[in-house]
Amino acid sequence: MTSLAAFVLASLVLVAVPGPNLIYIVTRGVQDGRRAGIVSALGVETGTLLHVIAAVCGLAALIADHPLAFTVLRYAGAGYLTYLGVRALLHRPPPAVGAADATGRPAQRRLLRLYCDAVLVNLFNPKVVLFFLAFLPQFLPTGLSPSDARSHMLILGAVFLSIALALDLCYALIGAALTGRLRGTPRRARHLSYFTGGIYLGLAALVFI
């Protein structure tokens, strides 16, 4: 098996295993529908792209080598997920993403907020930083110069990003398929908001595990 084929196979397995990003995307799809799930998947993978760039440029290694910076990143991630959880628990279920507002215009501002939430959820996850530090270098050919190594890491990162985005979009659609059943009545919608808030708070706890 070639190195690239092994990398693709390993990437498929790693992305398919349920984790915080996958749970977040499915939850957004269930909570707010298909457009929210898709936008969240795009936001999460934008964060992945930034992580890849950080790994290629050596920023990820710099963060991992400095305990204070790594600790700050952990607490920032847990804090942001806690904020999302509390927001979901305290607020009424929002209207479906894509519905018109009082002026008749689509709720584009809400879509932008969901996208930014997804980017930050991924960026503030310190385990992703360590993941790319440990995962990408394993598939680099030996004897590469520093510039060639960075080029190969960038290519592998692009391959991983493509795989992750494709699978995340599938998960977003799966979550959206459950929306109609789970949001059939106001009471169900409130319960779904409580469930969503609990998921975010659980993800915040997972940051420290």
**What digits encode the pLDDT tens for the residues 46-103?**
999 998 888 888 776 666 666 777 677 777 767 777 877 787 777 665 454 444 444 4
Mean per-residue pLDDT for 137-146? Answer: 78
> What would the two tokens of residue 149 be?
């190594």
Identify the pLDDT of residue 203: 67
Domain membership of residue 10 (yes or no) is: no
Domain membership of residue 181 (yes or no) is: yes
Domain membership of residue 9 (yes or no) is: no
Domain membership of residue 2 (yes or no) is: no
Domain membership of residue 14 (yes or no) is: no
CA distances (Å), 82 to each of 100, 112, 159, 196, in order?
29, 20, 32, 12
Identify the pLDDT of residue 56: 83
Please check whether residue 81 is in contact with residue 197, taking contact to mean a CB–CB distance below 8 angstroms: no
Please write the tens of the pLDDT for every residue from 198-209: 776 776 776 666
Domain that holds residue 40: 19-206
From 12-21, 147-156, 166-175, the region with the lowest mean pLDDT = 12-21
Domain membership of residue 178 (yes or no) is: yes
Mean pLDDT of the chain: 77
Domain membership of residue 13 (yes or no) is: no
- What is the count of structural domains for the chain? 1
Alpha carbon distance 66, 178 (integer Å): 43
Please, which pLDDT band fits residue 167 given cuts at 50, 70 and 90? very high
Domain membership of residue 186 (yes or no) is: yes
Please check whether residue 150 is in contact with residue 77, taking contact to mean a CB–CB distance below 8 angstroms: no
